Chains A and B, each alone.
Chain A
């Protein structure tokens, strides 16, 4: 069972972000308070990862992710945009679902399980449709639920 933190303050809908950079900035802000990590530090890690290649997984979905020192468990943040944004996406569909993950540096292995899990979930057209209509964390958790995850 992997613990993961997601609460209402980590969910943002109808955010008016126009660029990939502003999305990463918003995610850093959403994840900063619950994790206690400086937003600039989160941004730097997410941005550095994007430089290696987009974390877009296609079909309007991106999963920006980073390993961060001194956090107890993984933190998830979800952004749903009204207007899709160019995320250097790997297909022709701009991104409007951003599921961002920061995980403890020391527990890298769980990181990959979470990424694979999120990627599989978001590959499901029904789940994507539900998320695009979701307005808070409980509606999102309902759609991402799994026996292997414990949302805290």
Chain B
């Protein structure tokens, strides 16, 4: 077996209000050329019950974790998506809020990184994306 098959990637779960996550992901994938991660999307709308969405999120995380853990990215801190993300009952996840295009693109650049390093890259990319132009 070749080395790369041991080095399994972090999975990514994006939880956002309505369609934001999908549009950001499509745009990042188009800009970057490809999406190097296994990724799933979960959208939260006003009529959703947070407990139902949390249950789905836990199933997604279980599906996405191949041993390297799962990075959960949400749009804005303190709202339902990030509250759901931070209530996921699962050991090997990290949660980052403030999802933007810069964050996604920075993450796409480091597909081989560990969960903790990738989480730092996500935060750094997200912050660097906000600046006076």
Contact = CB atoms under 8 A, between A and B. Distances in A.
B29 A51 contact: yes
Contact of B41 (A52, A109, A116): A52
Contacts, number: 62
Interface in B8-28: 8-9, 22, 25-26
B51 interface: no
Contacts of A57: 38, 66
Interface residues of B, number: 25
Contact of B38 (A56, A92, A112): A56
Given A58-B66, A116-B59, 18 more contacts: A51-B29, A52-B41, A53-B38, A54-B35, A54-B38, A55-B38, A56-B38, A88-B34, A90-B37, A92-B2, A109-B56, A112-B56, A112-B59, A113-B59, A115-B63, A116-B63, A119-B63, A123-B66
15 contacts: A53-B29, A53-B35, A53-B38, A54-B38, A58-B8, A58-B38, A58-B66, A90-B37, A90-B38, A90-B111, A109-B56, A112-B60, A115-B63, A116-B62, A119-B63
